[in-house]
Structure 1
Amino acid sequence: MLTDRPHPKQAGAAWDSTDIRILSDNSLSGRHAVITGAGSGIGQAIAIRLAELGAHVVGIGRNDNSLRDTEQYTEGTSGSFRWFQADVRDSTLIRSVIAKAAADTGIDILVNNAGGQFYAATDDITDNGFRSVVDLNLNSVFTVISEAKPFLALRGGSIVNISLSGVDRGSVGLAHSLAARAGVLAMTKTIALEWAHLGIRANCVAPGVVISELLPAAIATSLLEDVVPRSVPAGRPTPVADVAELVAYLATPASRMITGQVLQIDGAAHLGRGLHMVNDWPPSHATNS
Structure 2
Amino acid sequence: MPTYRPHPPQSGRAWDVADVRVLQPTLLSGTHAVVTGAGSGIGQGISVRLAELGATVTGIGRTEAALEQTAELVSRTEGTFRWFSADVRDCEQVRSVISKSSTELGMDLLVNNAGGQFYAAAAEISDNGFRSVVDLNLNAVFTVISAAKPFLARRGGSIVTISLSGVERGSVGLAHSLAARAGVLAMTKTLALEWAHLGIRANCVAPGVVISDSLPEGIASSLRDRVVPESVPAGRPTPTEDVAELVAFIATPAGRMITGQLLQIDGAAHLGRGLHMVEDWPPMEENDQYGR
Q: Which residue does 1:61 correspond to in 2?
A: 61
Q: Which residue does 1:9 correspond to in 2?
A: 6
User: Aligned residue pairs: how many?
Assistant: 278
What is the CA distance between 1:220 and its match in structure 2?
A: 1.0
Contact 1:56 1:81 survives alignment (8 Å) = yes
CA distance in 2, matches of 1:5, 1:148: 45
CA distance in 2, matches of 1:233, 1:54: 35
SS in 2 for 1:164: coil
CA distance in 2, matches of 1:60, 1:148: 13
Which amino acid is 1:230 matched to? E
Which amino acid is 2:193 matched to? L
1:130-145 matches, within 5 Å, as: 130-145=130-145
Identity %: 71
Q: Write the deviation string for residues 35-69 of structure 1: whole angstroms up to 9, x where unpaired.
A: 00000000000000000000000000011001001
Contact 1:28 1:53 survives alignment (8 Å) = yes
Q: Which residue does 1:197 correspond to in 2?
A: 197
Contact 1:74 1:81 survives alignment (8 Å) = yes
Contact 1:171 1:277 survives alignment (8 Å) = no
What is the CA distance between 1:100 and its match in structure 2?
A: 1.1
Contact 1:172 1:278 survives alignment (8 Å) = no
Contact 1:54 1:77 survives alignment (8 Å) = no
Once superposed, what is the RMSD of the aligned Cα atoms? 1.3
2:125 corresponds to 1:125: yes
CA distance in 1, matches of 2:76, 2:41: 20
Q: Which residue does 1:286 correspond to in 2?
A: none
Q: Which has the larger radius of gyration?
A: 1
Which amino acid is 1:75 matched to? S
What is the CA distance between 1:275 and its match in structure 2?
A: 2.4
Contact 2:159 2:203 survives alignment (8 Å) = yes
Q: Which residue does 1:35 correspond to in 2?
A: 35
SS in 1 for 2:223: helix
Which amino acid is 1:173 matched to? G
Contact 1:208 1:275 survives alignment (8 Å) = no
Structure 2 runs not aligned, ≥5 long: 282-292
Which amino acid is 2:14 matched to? D
1:182-261 matches, within 5 Å, as: 182-261=182-261
What is the CA distance between 1:76 and its match in structure 2?
A: 4.3
Q: TM-score, normalised by structure 1?
A: 0.94
Structure 1 runs not aligned, ≥5 long: 282-289
CA distance in 2, matches of 1:61, 1:112: 11
Q: Write the deviation string for residues 106-158 of structure 1: whole angstroms up to 9, x where unpaired.
A: 10000000000000000000100000000000000000001100000001001
Which amino acid is 2:104 matched to? D
Contact 2:114 2:137 survives alignment (8 Å) = yes
CA distance in 2, matches of 1:36, 1:50: 13
What is the CA distance between 1:78 and its match in structure 2?
A: 3.3
SS in 2 for 1:270: helix
Q: TM-score, normalised by structure 2?
A: 0.93
CA distance in 2, matches of 1:16, 1:159: 33
What is the CA distance between 1:228 and its match in structure 2?
A: 0.3
Query: Judging changes above 3 Å, is the alpha-carbon distance between structure 1 residues 266 and 95 closer, same or farther for their aligned structure 2 residues?
Result: same
CA distance in 2, matches of 1:128, 1:17: 43
Q: Write the deviation string for residues 178-218 of structure 1: whole angstroms up to 9, x where unpaired.
A: 00000000000000000011010000000000010121221
SS in 2 for 1:149: helix
What is the CA distance between 1:73 and its match in structure 2?
A: 0.7
1:148-187 matches, within 5 Å, as: 148-187=148-187
Contact 2:4 2:232 survives alignment (8 Å) = yes
